[in-house]
Each structure stands twice: as structure tokens, then as C-alpha cells.
Chain A
Amino acid sequence: MLGKGLKRKLEQEDENDVMKMSSHQEASPTCYWLQRQTVLNLSLLKLHSRPVHSDPGLARRVLITNTLRHIQDELRGEGIPVPQSFPCGGTPLGVVDGYRERSAGCGVESHSEGSLTPVSRLEEDKHLLLCLSPSVTRQQPPSSIIKDSFTSALAEIEDLCPTVGITTLFSTETGRSLTSDPNFDESRYTDSDLSEMNSSLDSVSLVSDPAPSAFGHTPSLLADFSLDDFLFTELDSLLFDSTPCSSPLSTSSGASKVVSMVTDDFVKTLAGYGNGGTSQSTLQSNQTFKLDLNELDHIMEVLVGS
């Protein structure tokens, strides 16, 4: 009577029978607490995974984030210590249009009361509007934002120990911009990859205070960043740069030369570049990366002054 095809029943809670939905949430404090915990876990899960349908819209992310924040506020209000995996204050939106829009200032201020604002003036950087625009303007991002982003990003990397290759990438790239290395050649970086880097950093940066490990990030986002960075910068400069600023940040194995991507293929390829063709060194450097993560973290904290 309802049409052929498999009827998919409404998914029931897996947790336990207490979670059978009742409209009276206040009836049992345990029930409420359990449901809150469930919603919390679901929200975190959703923010870190792609939705079933292909469109990870901004609206959806905002709604999930608000739900999460509401729970967090409630927990705080009850005096329950909020775990480090919570976003504090900021919303983990990770908007891909990135950092540049912030430094450019919101287009709103350029509006005048009497005249309409052309959309082209909304974003000062036209490339944000034009998908394939070649023109890119240069801006030097204030270092404070990089520091905050970096600290939390670095903290995140702790959670992502398996993908250690990216740590080195962060250290080499951001290290340069932080310490204003004389060898730092701005021309090597187009603004786009700076913004890409910072946008990814922003997207992983979920806390405004330097608390370690905001909730972990899917490797894929970092992978995107890495890939873009690779597309825009010269491979050689990444691999063979031996600027003084990067040495305290790099691992003792000199593995800053070896930048690994999440994908295995790339790792092998780069290992080939940096080590004259032998792919075995990748494994060694990975292990060394793990050992040096704590060292790196400590150094960064000292530098950034957390």
C-alpha cells in the first residue's frame, strides 16, 4: 500500500533503551544527560565528516556548530569542565574563502548610504569572485593571527600523529613567515597559498585561546592544504631549503626536506626527491617525526609565548 521498495525504518538509538525518545526530557536527569551526550557526539562527528549528500553547506555547519555551542554553554553553566575537544568561543566554520577576506575587511564598510555597492567591491580581492582569475594581490597577514592559528594547528597535529608528514610542512612553511627570515622570499609565496595555508589553519583553529588540541580534524582538509601549497610553491624550495629559521623547527633528521602528503604515493615520490631516490627513508623519517613532535610543540610554545 505504501509503494514497493524497501522501507527504511526510522533509525533507533543504538545507545540504550533509555534513549527511546520521549518528549519529556526533564523526566529523567540521566536520560537528559545521555541525550545531551549523544547530541554532542553526533555534532562533533558531523562537523568532521562529509554529509551523506554531497553538499556540505555553510548553513548546515552553522546549525551544527550552534547546537554544539549551546551544549557547551550548558555544561559550563553546570560547572562541568568542558573537555578540550570543545570549541571555545569561536565557531569551527572553516570557511574556505579563507583568511584573505578578513584582512581585506568586510565589504560592508565600503557601502555608502546612498549608493548601491557593486558586488565586485564586496571582496577586495577579485580572485575570490572569479574562479579562474589570474590576478592575485599581495598582502602581508598580521603575524598574530598566524600565531594563534599555528599554535592550535600544531596542537591538532598532536592528534594526528599518523600523518606526521604534515607537521614538517607546517613547521617549514609557517616557521618562515613567523620569524621573518631574510631568506624568506615573498615571491615564492603567492598570496593565494598564504591564504590557503591560513584558511586551512583557521579551519583547524577552533579556539581563540591557545588550548591544545581543539577537536581533531579530518586529514583530508590538511591534505587539501598541502596539495594547494604544493601546487603554488616551487617543489625544490620546499624540499631543499635550509634557511636558518627552519632549523630549530625542523626535526633532527633534516626531514624538513622531506615533505610528505597524506597520500602514500606522494610520500614515496618526495622521499625519492629528498633522498636521492630511496623510498625507505620515508619510514625512518616518519618515525623520527613522531619522536620530535613533542619537541616541536615545546619549541613552538616557547616561540609563540603561550
Chain B
Amino acid sequence: MSETMSFGEPDPDLNPDQILGWLDDSTLHSPLILDDLYCTMDDPWFGLDPIDAKTISSSSSSSPIVDLFITDQPQQAASELSKKQKAPEDHTPRVGKNSSGNKKGAGKSAKGDNNIGSNKNGRWAEQLLNPCAAAITTGNMTRVQHLLFVLNELASPSGDANYRLAAHGMQALLHHLHCYQYPHRPDGRLEKAPSFTTSTPKLFKQSLIYFNDINPWFTIPNNIANNAVLQVLSEQDHGSCNALHILDIGVSHGFQWPTLLEALSRRPGGPPPLVRITVVPPTLDNHQLPFASCPPGYDFASNILRFAKDVDINLQFNKLDNIPLRNLNADAISFSEDETLIVCAQFRLHGISHNEPDDRTEFLKLMRNMSPQGVILSDNNMDCSCDNCSSFDSGFARRLDYLWSFLDSTSVAFKGRDMEERRVVEGEAAKALISMCEMNERKEKWGERMNGVGFVKHAFADDVVDQARALLRKYDSRWEMRVEDRSVGLWWKGQPVSFCSLRKTD
């Protein structure tokens, strides 16, 4: 047998020195408070094994096949990396803990990115998945089976983004076929895929923390949202005597708020006398919405209450379990007149149906009826892939496009290393391929809806945008922020990923 191809080939663009250097500047932006809140172990890496530099440099002995496909672009990415590290003002290094972490143990078996056969910009998985979806739509079962055969050979949950996309995509297609054949039988294998709900609370926390540390997918929208809350408060006519009530319809699972609480406590004039956070988790039947659910047993209430006490904030925390969004109103959230209500809706509203009946517009009206002082809306900036808006294959293509951005940026963020945390977030994102609740809309369409029920767009303050930009510099340079028409868009490799906007009532 010819020599086995291992997926362990490291990213040839990075040399060991730079990797260790990155490990030194580990914290990037996250404040030490997160350590206090969520660290249960002394190891700063939560038990993650650091990269063994030896593993990387020694596996450069590659097979001739490797030679065939390694292209000549090593230098560019490497220089980008070193550029990033030379921006010292933006990160707070974790004191002391890192050096011990680096020397610990051998690296995990580096089932990292497999650059063989895919040059850096290649997207080959979709070239099998999309034709397969098209064949399903036309009923060409011979072709479906042929493509599934090939996918089965290539897909792997531990290769680079293409291999993972192939794996998740194939599972989604099989699921679709299963549902078609056995409409009343649930697909048992879906239960076993890694996701938030199937993880332990500890793994869930680790995954989310680590992911936000290295991929700005949620970090930037959260950062903008937090600063927008501060902006709304500062723009209020009547002083700062009102209680602040934040309605959290989001996916941050509590990680977003400590930063805000801390900023509130440092406000000139002190924090609001009362801060209320009401979290609306998804109802049980909506568990397919990516990133929305958490493991049973996960509860950040006590943590955040403790943190609030530490920073002298009078916090009232409330979680509205099992209240569907359509039942939200002032009563449900115990709204009182003298509160400053700010709704923070992030990556959840696209799960509300926009077909007959138009629950989505109805919900926006509900929100309007609560007369909030501000609504921060973030969501995926893409076209809908539901049955009404597209055929199976064009919808699937859109979902793949979304997942590709996620997997690709995540692959870059993890520097090709495979680990459980990575698989958990990727498994969560992959739900988008299967979920019935994925009904995205472009930001322009959201804008129309919002305007239609009586909201007006309000520009973000300059320093809100500036801070977000500064934060984004910590991440890979292929992330971009574009401010268009008063909303902030997040782009990856020239493709739109999400948008964030602020609105007030007219």
C-alpha cells in the first residue's frame, strides 16, 4: 500500500516560532473578569494541550503527493500573523500562566488542516454537495448515490474546512433523504452529533469562551451591542436615574453581559440604580436554531449575580423559560414604566417564521408595543433558504455558503488544530443545514420590516464603531467591518456574514 496520507500535516504557512509567540499573547482582548467567572481550572487553556512545536516542524517530511499541491504562498499569511502580534496596546496578557502552559505535555495528535489537495482558496466540498442537492431535487437517484459515494470517501470531521463541510453537508443530505423516506421516523443519528445541547456544561463553556476568543463571529456583534446600550443611555434626556432593563434575545448565553456591567459600574455618574436582564431562551421545540440552546444544567444566573455584586451593580436577573417569542409583552417581562428598556435581539429573530402567517412582523409589532428606548438587532446577512423562498438545492447552497464561512474562519482561528471545542461549535453551526427555522433575510429586508412597524434606524456613535474596529484587529485580517447605511456589517473574505443595527421608536 502506498504510504498513508495522514491528516496531520500542519499548516505550512506557520512556523513554530510564530505559533509559540501567538500562544504568549493568548488573551487577545478578553478581560480578566472572564477568568474569574468561568475558570474552574488553573490551567489557562482549560486543559487544552498546547501545540507541540516539535510535532509541527518534524512533520514537514511530506510524501511526494504533498509536494504536488503545496502552493507558493507561505510568506504572506506569515507576515500578517506577525503584524497582528505587534499591536501591543490592545491585549492584556495573562500574567504568568502561559509559560507553564506552553511547556506542558505533548500536543494532541495534530489532526489539523490538511492542505494537501486543496490550495488555500479552494472550495471543493460544495462542488459535490450542491450537485447532490440538485440531483435530489430532480430525483436523479443514480447521481445522488454516486455523489454520496464520493462524499463518503472524502468527508472527514477532522480535516480542514472543506473536509468538515463535506462531512456536515453529507449528513444533512442523508437526513433530508431519511426524512423523505421515513417522514414519521426521527433521524437517530442527529442526536449523536456534537452540539451545545449534547455537551457537558463545562465543555460548552470552554467552547464558547475559546471560540469567542479567536473568532469574532459573535464577539463583534456583542461588543457593538454592549456599547450601543451605553450609547442609548447616554443619549437619554432625563438623567441616569432610570432602571435599565435589557431584554436579551440572543445567543451569548450570558457571556456578553459582564463586560457591560463592568462598563456601567465605571460610568461617570455611577451605574443605574437597578439593572435588569431578562433572558428569553428558545422554547424546546425550537432547539434547532444554531447557537440558541445550551446544555441542560447550564445556568449562568448565579455567576452573573455574583459578578454584579463584585462590581457593585444592583442586578436583577430573570430567565423566561418556555415562553415563546410571540407571547412576549410588557407583562411577560414585568416591564414598568420608569424603566429604560433596551431590546437586544441577536441571531435569534431569523428563527421566527416569515411565511404565512407572518409571525415575524407580528413579533416586531409586539416589540414596538413595548416602546423600548432602543432595539439592537444583529443577524445573519444572507438570503433565506426556507421552502418558500427557494428550492431545496438553491436553499441548500445558501446554507452551505453560510457554513463554509463559519468553518473556514473557524479553521483559521483554530490554526488548523482539531479539538473538541472546535467540533462543538462547528456542530452547532452545522445545524443550519438541517434546521427548519433558518429563515434569514438580508439587512435591507429587516430594515423594511422594522420601518414598517414604527422603528427608525439610528446611527451608532463613532466611538462604538471605533471600538469595534479596534477589537476586530485582534482577529485574522481577512475579517472586515463595513459601515453602510448606519449599520455595521461583518465580512469574512469579502463575503457578508452578519449585520448589526440600532433602532429607536419613531
Whether chains A and B associate is no
